[in-house]
Chains A and B, each alone.
Chain A
Amino acid sequence: MGEFGSRIVQNYPYVFALALFAIGVYTILTHSNLFKKVIGINIMEGSIYVLFIAAGNVRGGVAPVLDLANSDLVYVHPLPQALMLTGIVVSVSVTALSLALIMKLYRSYGTVDAREIARLTRLGNEVGADVTSGS
């Protein structure tokens, strides 16, 4: 394994985050279904939450609830968790917005396939017959 391997094992949350990120991106890239794209985005964002939480984590730490009696307790960093709550809220709103948009797209194009939508848009453009010319 060597040192590199052991470092990977030690930082497994980060590797996990990276893997999630890759999966998210892969999903966005390979699926032309718009819903799947949104899911991909969500996976990607999830990876970021993992990263943050991992960063704030302290091995053996407990939830940062103040316990005056036990002063030896090691708390995990509360801030990233608080932040990620915000992040999740943002993510949810983005997801909501995108779902709304997908609905609209479906209404106008009759499909949720990105490739199909692109084709239809292009078709529309070609009917508009642009013979552009520079100055």
Chain B
Amino acid sequence: MYWSLFLILIPFLGAAMLPCFKDLRGQLILNIAVGFLSLLGSMMNYLAQRSGETLICQLGGSSIFTPTLRLDGLSALFGLFAALVWLVTGIYMYTYMQREERPLSFTVFHLITLGAVQGVFLAGDFVTLLLFFEIMTVASFFWVIHRRDRESMRAGYFYLFLGIAAGLCLAGAIALLLVSGVTTELGIAALLPTDTALFGWAVILLFLGFGIKAGMVPVHIWLPMAHPVAPTPGSALLSGILIKAGAYGMIRTGQLVDWGLGGLVPWLGTLVVILGVATMLLGVGLALLQGNAKRLLAYHSVSQMGYIILGIGTALVLGQGAYGVSGAIFHSLNHALFKSALFLGVGIIYLGTGELNLYKLGGLWKKYPITAICMLIAAFGITGTPGLNGFISKSLLHHSALDVALSGNPIMVWSERFFNLVGVGTTASFVKLIGLMFFGKQKTKLKEGAGEGPFLASGMVLLAVVMLIIGTQPQLILNLFVIPATLAAGVSDISHLTHISFFESTAVWDMLITLAIGATFFAFGMKTHLFHYQPPGWLSLEVAGWQFVKAYKAVELGASKMYQSPARLVTRGLRRYYRRLMVVNRRLDYEGGGIFNNLNFSNLNTDVFLILTVLAALALYYLTVLITGV
């Protein structure tokens, strides 16, 4: 499978070739071509592992580092949808980038990130994964700071520093894994570690590291800042794919602990469930309060990642819970599709109006029919309306949540209840998004040349079509992609999945009721101005980020002061004493009119006197020795 390497290298090569094109269109077409090649490659990858075998190859290597690639159902699936979304954004960029400043820089990093993301999904061990993970972080950082204004720079620093912290966590985790006697290979369950405590810490660090990338509460703070400020294709990819790298890592971590079966880290499942629920709730709660379309979507990313984390958590609690794992995988795929579609749609509107504030938009469906329809489909998808893709994965996740709730453990019971609550919130906020954007009165003037160009629309349509296919043919997708991926993720018992029926009436009714409550809640919220409520700062945790920065600065200031002030004191003191010593020296030195002169001796007298004194001192010394008998 050495050719898989080309999947990683082609985007890098493309990025290197981009500056050779002087013409912007040429660059953008090359970008699309690379995206297309990448999709093609991913498909070949998928086909290569179709038979169910796992392909592993080691690249050259040495005693320190042997880069390893691994191709199985999971990596093939993630690689495939990543390539798809990339192609879509690539097409979208053809129009979009002609209106954005510095298109070349963005496009270069667009491709580099593609290579890195493919690398992350193809990595065969944690070190190789970390390699591409870091490249991904750095390359995508340039998307975030693309605008170069104050807000984006701030967001960029948050994004980068947390990304680096994530990388360091992973590095620490790798060291811990090695020391605890566990292999760092991906895709296999760890054998019994020699040191369970260290192994536990390793898993914690892995979850923390991937969690940062995945926007897990409480380390999600970068996400709502970074996603809105990037140019639209960047936002779409950040929310659509990059955070899935975190999810992918978490799934692989779950696999490492054998989904809780070996009982290696017994408390892990509960912890992850709690984190997942917190992520869901916080994300959706804050999303409801946003007036900025992109920020709203960003908070929804947090919330949806909560679903995925919850799925992983429940799988861990259950021990190879097939629903949870498959739900997480499936939801990753789905979220990638609808969230990038939504961002792209918002981006089209933004291109036309220059406005992201929902309360200033409205009535745009006439001008943007295709966008409106695609966004509606995506919104239905994300809210989990039956017939669309979100419904399928949420059903799986709900099954899993129900399963754990059966244990009667209050945490698990409440997590199932919150699951439904979040569904309501999601619906409300998407009713808000679509409603305020496309219906009602048009409040903003459109720019000249606004509209949905063929390139802008076609990408979205492609996504919408895929979503519809998934929504209507869930079993097919499940069998083709998700079940092999679930198997590859280390779940051996998939019997539940093969017999599942998604469109049971109860499930459908449940979802419809949730939707209805959500719509009502939206109406209520709009009437009461609830959505304009400004939550206390601490709730968003972004403030916590700032507090952290402040605290850090204080520590740093304190530390350097703590060091510098005594250091200065010592140097000053020394210098003073040195000067004083020199003064005394000069006084004693007769030439300068020493102290002896003041005793009204002339020079020579003092000297003779001194000699006699020394003699007397010697005598005295001798007497002392004589008397004390030393």
Contacts and interface: CB of A to CB of B under 8 A. Distances in A.
Direct contact of A and B (CB under 8 A): yes
Interface of A: 25, 28-30, 32, 37, 114-115, 117-118, 121-122, 125, 130, 132-134
Interface in B589-630: 591-593, 597, 601-605, 608-609, 612
A114 B586 contact: no
Contacts of B605: 28-30, 32, 114
Contacts of A121: 591
A64 to B, nearest CB: 34
Interface string B203-232: 000000000000000000000000000000
A114 B582 contact: no
A125 B591 contact: yes
Contacts of B609: 29
Contacts of A29: 601, 605, 608-609
A79 to B, nearest CB: 26
Contact of B602 (A32, A125, A130): A32
Interface in B556-584: 578-579, 582
Contacts of A114: 602-605
A134 B592 CA distance: 16
Contacts of A115: 602
Interface centre among B578, B592, B605, B608 (most CB of A within 10 A): B605
A134 B604 contact: no
Given A125-B592, A134-B578, 8 more contacts: A25-B608, A25-B612, A28-B605, A28-B608, A29-B609, A125-B591, A132-B582, A133-B582
A28 B606 CA distance: 10
A108 B109 CA distance: 89
Contacts of B603: 114, 118
Contact of A132 (B578, B586, B601, B604): B586
A121 to B, nearest CB: 8
B465 to A, nearest CB: 82
A74 to B, nearest CB: 35
Interface of B is mostly: helix
A121 B593 CA distance: 10
Contact of A118 (B582, B597, B612): B597
Contacts of A132: 582, 586
Interface string B118-136: 0000000000000000000
10 contacts: A25-B612, A28-B605, A28-B608, A29-B601, A29-B609, A30-B605, A32-B602, A114-B603, A118-B602, A125-B592
A134 B579 CA distance: 8
Contacts of A118: 597, 602-603
Given A122-B593, A125-B591, A37 B604 contact: yes
B596 to A, nearest CB: 11
A75 B100 CA distance: 126
Contacts of B582: 132-134
Contacts of A30: 605
A117 to B, nearest CB: 8
A83 to B, nearest CB: 23
Interface of B: 578-579, 582, 586, 591-593, 597, 601-605, 608-609, 612
Nearest to B586: A132
A30 B605 CA distance: 7
Nearest to A29: B605
A121 B601 CA distance: 15
B573 to A, nearest CB: 16
Nearest to B609: A29
Nearest to A31: B605
Contacts of B604: 28, 37, 114
Contacts of A32: 602, 605
A34 to B, nearest CB: 9
A109 to B, nearest CB: 13
Nearest to A32: B602
A125 B608 CA distance: 23
A114 B604 CA distance: 8
A133 B591 CA distance: 16
Contacts of B586: 132
Nearest to A28: B608
A6 to B, nearest CB: 24
Contacts of B592: 122, 125, 130
A86 B579 CA distance: 50
A28 B601 CA distance: 11
B390 to A, nearest CB: 78
B200 to A, nearest CB: 58
Contacts of B579: 134
A39 B208 CA distance: 97
Nearest to A34: B604
B464 to A, nearest CB: 80
Contacts of B591: 121-122, 125
Shortest 10 CB-CB distances between A and B: which pairs?
Answer: A115-B602, A114-B602, A118-B603, A118-B602, A122-B593, A29-B605, A32-B602, A134-B582, A28-B608, A114-B604
B72 to A, nearest CB: 71
Nearest to A114: B602
Contacts of B578: 134
Contacts of A117: 602
A122 B591 CA distance: 7
A130 B593 CA distance: 13
A89 to B, nearest CB: 24
A102 B532 CA distance: 106
A118 B603 CA distance: 7
A117 B602 CA distance: 9
B117 to A, nearest CB: 61
Nearest to B581: A134
A121 B603 CA distance: 11
Nearest to B597: A118
Nearest to B592: A125
Nearest to B575: A134
B608 to A, nearest CB: 5
B576 to A, nearest CB: 12
Contacts of B597: 118
Contacts of B612: 25
Nearest to A125: B591
Nearest to B582: A134
A90 to B, nearest CB: 19
A7 B211 CA distance: 104
A122 B597 CA distance: 11
Contacts of A133: 582
Nearest to A30: B605
Contacts of B608: 25, 28-29
A28 to B, nearest CB: 5
Nearest to A40: B608
A51 to B, nearest CB: 16
Interface centre among A29, A30, A37 (most CB of B within 10 A): A29
